[in-house]
Amino acid sequence: MEDNPRFFDLVGNVRSMRRLKPDPIPESLLMKVLNAGVQAPSGMNSQPWAFLVLRRSEDKHWFADRYRDASESRFGNRDSLTEGNSPMARQFRVLQYQMNHMHEFPVLVMVCGLRDWAFKAPESERVGLAPPNYGAVYPCVQSILMACRGVGLGAALTTMHQVFENELMERFRIRWNTVS
């Protein structure tokens, strides 16, 4: 079988893109990208993901404000970190841009997952809520990032919103489900 050079070009060029234009994303393009996400593999083909898509300005502002707070408390004042031309300084500059402009990005997609005990956890130790099974949704997340690249959209994976996860879930009425 012959290699598909376009695939290797795509997979080798999926980069975090954080300076994003505010231009609206057509619904059909968004669906195309999310449809690529849901083709990802999952344990027992359980497809344990759901999407929260923020497009309304007030929702994006709400999210971006909390993201900035979480980011600042994680990294403190970044001004000194952004000076110069080192790879780290350049990285912090673009992270700062992302943080300050997040409310302008056309779409913020939250990939939600489930709580699930690790297969190896003995029944007797399964007390209280199962831990979030983040690993189960990353194939879907990666497919979404690749699909964005494939259709010419910029995107970046972020996880900082875990800091305000409870507030996020309350505002958008998301409940933790466990695998049944």
Ligand X SMILES: Cc1cc2nc3c(=O)[nH]c(=O)nc-3n(C[C@H](O)[C@H](O)[C@H](O)COP(=O)(O)O)c2cc1C
The contact set with ligand X (CB under 6 A) reads 15-16, 95, 156-160
Residues with Cβ within 8 Å of residue 123, at least 6 apart in sequence: none
- Minimum CB distance to ligand X smaller for 42 or for 158: 158
Shorter beta-carbon distance to ligand X: residue 47 or 91 = 91
* Inter-residue contact 131 to 108 (CB < 8 Å): no
Displacement of CA 161 from its chain's centroid (Å) = 9
Residue nearest ligand X by beta-carbon distance = 16
* Rounded Cα–Cα distance for residues 136 and 140 (Å): 8
Nearest distance from residue 45's CB to ligand X, in Å? 23
As measured in angstroms, the least distance from the Cβ of 159 to ligand X is: 4
Return the number of the residue (31 or 104) whose C-beta is nearest ligand X: 104
Q: What is the per-residue DSSP string for 134-163?
A: GGGTHHHHHHHHHHHHHHT-------GGGG
Cβ neighbours for 65, distance < 8 A, ≥ 6 positions apart: 103
Q: How far is the CB of 158 from ligand X (least distance, A)?
A: 4
Question: Least distance to ligand X from the beta carbon of 126, Å?
Answer: 25
Nearer to ligand X, 111 or 169 (CB): 111
